[in-house]
Chain A
Amino acid sequence: MTGQVLHLGSPRLSLTLRYYVALCGLLLGCALLSLGFGPAGWDWQLAIAWLYPSGFDQFSTLQHNVVMHIRLPRFLLAVCIGALLAQTGAATQALCRNPLADPSIIGVSSGAAVFAVATIAFANRLGFSADLWLPITAFFGALLTTLLVYHLSRRGGHVQVTTLILVGVAVNALGFALIGLISFYANDGALRLINYWTMGSLAGASWHGLFSALPLFLVAIIGLLRLREPLSLLLLGEHEARSLGVNIARLKSHTVLLVALGVGAAVAVSGLIGFIGLVVPHMCRLLVGSHLSALMPISVLTGAVVMLLADWLARIVVTPAELPIGIITAFLGAPLFIYLLHRQQGVQHA
């Protein structure tokens, strides 16, 4: 028996390593696709031209500018947003101890959106810069909604599944009503921006936008990664986590702050992109299990890959025009989520 114990080792760890390698490969593939693909077709040489000094010699200045000022920031933004949304999804699910919790479903994203839309609509009239204030107002919107939803759905120390989803439905409805109301008072320019932006898009990516949001992205991603162990213990229950030495009050407030920061920053830069935070952790859970030490890093990579693929689809479906990416993620995410849910229930009842 002892021999068997030694032999068993930790099988999940080595398996996880294989997933890392596969995902890094996929990420590289997606990078080639995302950078090299355009209305004129796919050119892999264009995708890697920025890597070496004489890379753009055989290409026109236009192509050089397209890659350097449009595709490259867009690629990096997709990676960041995908990683961030997947990460906040995994953290929210741990916080609520509920696999259906996702910032876009429980209303956090639309809370951020209300504040962001208000900023877009009224910032110029009130004489301050919308670009500058968007991440900040979106963060406060996300924070307020997270606290609201979390406290409304808690009964006797537990977050009830049905209450959480229903509160999410109500908050989403209220959020979209407020966005509608604000749109009513917005001028034409702001209206177009709001409309485009509520469906989510990475088309507005720029180096300036990327660099201004990057610190927030990094703080949220790294901060949540550092909480992966106590958050895993929280999955056992609040009392269990406390008896294992977790400071629950601090863990919760840090998680709520970081999720709000991440969602706020993501919404401010790319608008409402749903389902990534729901579907990616679900997919990863089927691969590496529920422990966040394995799940969170895998989710970061998978989120980036899924976001790049969705963005690529958004660019090719109606070429030369472009679909909002939120539509793509919803079309991909909703059926996949139903399938995953169905399959999981099948496993549970087997």
Chain B
Amino acid sequence: MLEVCGLSVTRHHRTLLNNINVCFRPGELWVILGENGAGKSTLLSAISGLTPYDGEVRFHQRGLDRWADKALAQQRAFMQQQHALPFGFSLPELVAMGRTPHDETADHRWQQALHYLEALQLLNLTDRHTDNLSGGELQRVHFARCLTQVNGLSDDCQGRLLLLDEPTSALDLHHQHRVLNHTRTFVDKGNTAVVILHDLNLASCYADHIMLLKQGELLAMGSTAEVLTQNTLMDAYHTPMHISQHPTLNRPIIFSEPQEYPYAKNGTE
């Protein structure tokens, strides 16, 4: 359980996040939505304990700053937006790095890495190096690394936290669903995931709860049906929207309308 109370982040006299209060419980998949620069990544890296913040963030009733680095790394994984790696690694090597916070033998790490490579359909690429992968393939490898870090091979892990910053931005449709399916399975075991997405329909299909941020403030928070409404989304994205119902899932589906240029110019994008 991750409790966030009065979280604010200020950098260079600019408020990036203002007074965020939320509680992420086990068994919940949260999606954070919002325009560029709304503070999504700032929120995620603050609750991961990697960047300084004001206010209080408690993970399992203990303040984040009171966790030892290694103990925290055994419980939560953070997949960040990726940049190029300066050195090439083999895929099992890179994924096995996710297990370094756990005291395990190299062989055991390797087995778990192969398991998750298989789960993400990357096993046929194991003879390649990371510098020979496409952006989407590399993104799946990093996702596999983070999932390995908090999940491992045991099925009894609970209360773990998976933070994903745009994990599907470079993926094709099939792998977008595959990655979010794995996240769903992980959450259903009694863990928590907080995911930043830009695809509203993907968010609608997978989220239990949605947080909508705008200029560092919480604009809306609640279930998909509560947050994904026409007025809220138009307020957040300055784009004409229509909301419909998914033909098979009981979830909202969002259609955006192409805009005239002057409209876009007045908006943020």
A285-299: CB near B (< 8 Å → 1, else 0) gives 100011101000000
Chain A residues contacting B78 (CB-CB under 8 Å) are 239, 243
B48 CB, nearest partner CB in chain A, Å: 6
B77 within 8 A of A: yes
> Is B45 a contact of A239 with CB atoms below 8 Å?
yes
Given the interface contacts A1-B123, A5-B123, A246-B69, does A289 sit within 8 Å of B85 by beta carbon? no
Shortest Cβ distance from B110 into A: residue: A10
Chain A residues contacting B183 (CB-CB under 8 Å) are none
Contact of B118 among A5, A10, A236 (CB under 8 A): A5
A34 CB, nearest partner CB in chain B, Å: 33
Contact of B92 among A10, A232, A235, A246 (CB under 8 A): A10
A247 within 8 A of B: yes
> Is B77 a contact of A243 with CB atoms below 8 Å?
yes
A290 vs B115: C-alpha distance when bound (angstroms): 22
Q: Which chain B residues (97-130) contact chain A, with CB distance < 8 Å?
A: 97-98, 100-101, 106-107, 110-111, 114-115, 118, 123, 126, 129
Chain A residues contacting B77 (CB-CB under 8 Å) are 243
> Is A97 a contact of B101 with CB atoms below 8 Å?
no
Given the interface contacts A5-B123, A8-B126, A232-B97, does A291 sit within 8 Å of B45 by beta carbon? no
> Is B118 a contact of A1 with CB atoms below 8 Å?
yes
A247 vs B72: C-alpha distance when bound (angstroms): 12
> Is A239 a contact of B118 with CB atoms below 8 Å?
no
Chain B residues contacting A13 (CB-CB under 8 Å) are 106, 110
B45 CB, nearest partner CB in chain A, Å: 7
Chain B residues contacting A347 (CB-CB under 8 Å) are 131-132
B139 CB, nearest partner CB in chain A, Å: 14
> Is B89 a contact of A291 with CB atoms below 8 Å?
yes
Contact of A5 among B69, B106, B114 (CB under 8 A): B114
> Is B87 a contact of A285 with CB atoms below 8 Å?
yes
> Is B123 a contact of A245 with CB atoms below 8 Å?
no
A251 CB, nearest partner CB in chain B, Å: 10
> Is A289 a contact of B88 with CB atoms below 8 Å?
yes
Chain A residues contacting B114 (CB-CB under 8 Å) are 5, 8
A325 CB, nearest partner CB in chain B, Å: 29
Chain A residues contacting B70 (CB-CB under 8 Å) are 245
B155 CB, nearest partner CB in chain A, Å: 16
Contact of B101 among A235, A240, A244, A289 (CB under 8 A): A244
Given the interface contacts A1-B123, A232-B97, A233-B97, does A245 sit within 8 Å of B73 by beta carbon? yes
Q: Which chain B residues (49-96) contact chain A, with CB distance < 8 Å?
A: 50, 69-74, 76-78, 80, 83, 85-90, 92-94
Shortest Cβ distance from B90 into A: residue: A289
Contact of B87 among A9, A244, A290 (CB under 8 A): A290
A212 within 8 A of B: no
Q: How many A-B residue pairs have CB under 8 A?
A: 86
A335 within 8 A of B: no
A13 vs B96: C-alpha distance when bound (angstroms): 13
> Is A243 a contact of B87 with CB atoms below 8 Å?
no
- A4, A232, A244, A290 pick with most chain B CB within 10 angstroms: A244
> Is B110 a contact of A245 with CB atoms below 8 Å?
no
Q: Which chain A residues (283-320) contact chain B, with CB distance < 8 Å?
A: 285, 289-291, 293
> Is A245 a contact of B90 with CB atoms below 8 Å?
no
> Is A12 a contact of B90 with CB atoms below 8 Å?
yes
> Is B69 a contact of A99 with CB atoms below 8 Å?
no
Chain B residues contacting A43 (CB-CB under 8 Å) are none
A283 CB, nearest partner CB in chain B, Å: 14
Given the interface contacts A8-B126, A235-B86, does A244 sit within 8 Å of B98 by beta carbon? yes
Shortest Cβ distance from A243 into B: residue: B78
> Is B87 a contact of A99 with CB atoms below 8 Å?
yes
Chain A residues contacting B93 (CB-CB under 8 Å) are 12, 289, 291
Chain B residues contacting A12 (CB-CB under 8 Å) are 90, 93
A8 vs B123: C-alpha distance when bound (angstroms): 10
> Is B97 a contact of A244 with CB atoms below 8 Å?
yes
Shortest Cβ distance from A289 into B: residue: B90
Shortest Cβ distance from A12 into B: residue: B90
A245 vs B202: C-alpha distance when bound (angstroms): 31
> Is B106 a contact of A348 with CB atoms below 8 Å?
no
A244 vs B96: C-alpha distance when bound (angstroms): 12
A245 vs B73: C-alpha distance when bound (angstroms): 5
Chain B residues contacting A246 (CB-CB under 8 Å) are 69
Shortest Cβ distance from B89 into A: residue: A290
> Is A239 a contact of B87 with CB atoms below 8 Å?
no
A10 vs B232: C-alpha distance when bound (angstroms): 51
A289 vs B94: C-alpha distance when bound (angstroms): 11
> Is B73 a contact of A99 with CB atoms below 8 Å?
no
A349 CB, nearest partner CB in chain B, Å: 10
Question: Can you offer 9 A-B residue contacts whose CB atoms are under 8 A?
Answer: A13-B110, A235-B89, A236-B94, A237-B80, A239-B50, A243-B78, A244-B73, A244-B101, A290-B88
List 8 other contacts, CB 8 Å, given A10-B92, A10-B106, A236-B85: A8-B92, A10-B107, A232-B97, A242-B50, A243-B76, A245-B74, A289-B90, A290-B89
Residues of B with Cβ closer than 8 Å to A?
45, 48, 50, 69-74, 76-78, 80, 83, 85-90, 92-94, 97-98, 100-101, 106-107, 110-111, 114-115, 118, 123, 126, 129, 131-132, 149
10 tightest A-B CB contacts, nearest first: A245-B73, A290-B87, A245-B70, A245-B101, A243-B78, A10-B110, A245-B69, A97-B86, A5-B114, A291-B93
